Structure 1
Amino acid sequence: MQQNTFDALLGCTPRGYNSFLSDLCTGNVSDRKITMNCGFLDMNELFHNIMADRGFCIRVALALKLASLKIPSFTSKRRLASKGVTKTRRIARARIHVERCIGA
């Protein structure tokens, strides 16, 4: 059975409040394309830190706005360095607010 899906970009503040909601797009549109076309990047101020999932390829677009992308560290068969572990823990703590915001 085929189902139609829609995607949207949801922005949350560090305290877990909704700060941005894009228009709905059909399910075959990439996250990057939604982000580039919905106006989210235009509303960010200089030097903002944006947290996103792995694979959210917007680092270059954010760099043009002098903002940075924070994603969990990638791991392979080797262990993360202590700096990577600390960074990942900080992102995971903030991620709790995002999960509450989207109701996951």
Structure 2
Amino acid sequence: MTDHCCEAMVRQVDARCDQHHGTSVCPDALIGFDARFQEYGLIVHDGGTSSVDIHFCPWCGRALPQSQRDRWFDELERRGIDPWEGEIPAEFQDDRWLATPPRD
């Protein structure tokens, strides 16, 4: 489980709306968080699921974690898994895979 930088970020990332299904369609949702990649982003409310990456918390100003996107793809490749066509193991669908030490 990821520790977010401040209580305001926790409230944003953990917010659930009882009127909308998902943060991309809720106009009150501001920040999205992808646990797989440890990426934060400002949600683009244009009907899709896009977001604009952010690297500092808008509330406390702390630097946010470095993206693990490349490492995620590298680890899947190392295991012989095609992320575009293969089945992604459950531990790679959230941040559990990060417990695996990076390999050179």
Higher percent of residues as helix: 1
Same fold per superposition (TM over 0.5): no
TM-score, structure 1 as length reference: 0.29
TM-score (norm 2): 0.29
